[in-house]
Amino acid sequence: MKNEILITTAHLVKKFPIGGHFFTALNDVNLTIRAGEFTGLVGPSGSGKTTLLNIIGALDNPTEGVAVVMGQDTKTLNHKQAARLRSECLGFIFQTYNLLPVYTVFENVEFPLLLLGIASSDRKKSVMKALEWVGLTDKVSSRPSQLSGGECQRVSIARAMVKRPKLVLADEPTANLDAANSHNVLKMMLQLNREMGTTFIFASHDEKVIGYLRRKIGLTDGKVVEDKIISTQNHEESETPC
């Protein structure tokens, strides 16, 4: 349902232990994100973007406060329940790709569908469609070590999108892509957002990504310092590749 609240964070704090003291990576983050948003966490390196995405994606727990994702307080989920939430509802594009090195491109993208028990013929169709989205149908049999950084990034994008999840968490998805590929994947994501209502949360400082956002959440030193809706007019203008 559009406008349904997908994510709430309340007084979210994340502290990491380093050398006998604690480093505060997130400091009292309070956010509400609704279904159908195309939102970005924007801020300098070290501002807490990945840390926040990891908590929203139930990959890490907050030190204080709560993150409620699709009605579930992530802190209360055990390992299996968190894995189930990720498998059924989330697509995660990792900053570091996290591809399985012994698997081919096809097998890497197929993996989330295997976890969901999708039949072989449907898996094949979905994998090929996702690889078409990112322009990698000619690399189905390659392994990650045989790909460029940008190609690995595109495999990671295809893997996150293949099951058409309700929510996509995209951590610097264009960091290794050239301008043409960046615009291609961003347009594909925007199309899924419009046609299927897929919610996207980006972490990025790439101006190309920022140009597509409808809401920009600025983070500095683990704090939300800006939360701005971007007008559709700006958005349409920014859709044209530079």
Ligand X SMILES: Nc1ncnc2c1ncn2[C@@H]1O[C@H](COP(=O)(O)OP(=O)(O)OP(=O)(O)O)[C@@H](O)[C@H]1O
Provide CB contacts within 8 A for 205, sequence distance 6+.
Answer: 42, 43, 44, 45
Task: Report the chain's terminal Cα–Cα distance, integer Å.
Answer: 34
Instruction: Extract the tokens encoding 146.
Output: 């045989």
- Contact code string over 173-212 relative to Mg ion, x by CB under 5 A: ----------------------------------------
Q: Which of 9, 27, 39, 50 binds Mg ion (CB under 5 A)?
A: 50
Contact partner at residue 45 from Mg ion, ligand X, none, CB < 5 to 8 Å by partner kind = ligand X
* Contact predicate 208/186, CB 8 Å: yes
Q: Which is nearer to Mg ion, 51 or 193 (CB)?
A: 51
Residue type, position 236, single letter: E
> CB 211 → ligand X: shortest distance, Å?
18
> CB 206 → ligand X: shortest distance, Å?
10
Asked whether position 47 contacts Mg ion by CB under 5 A, the answer is: no
> 86 by DSSP, 3-state: which?
helix
Q: Which is nearer to Mg ion, 49 or 154 (CB)?
A: 49
Q: Which residues bind ligand X (CB under 6 A)?
A: 16, 18, 23, 25, 43, 45-51, 95, 203
d(CA 34, CA 84): 21
> CB 66 → Mg ion: shortest distance, Å?
22
Q: Which is nearer to ligand X, 43 or 112 (CB)?
A: 43
In our burial notation (b when 16+ CB lie closer than 10 A, e otherwise), range 45-56 reads eebbbbbbbbbb
Residues found near Mg ion in the complex (CB under 5 A): 49-50, 95
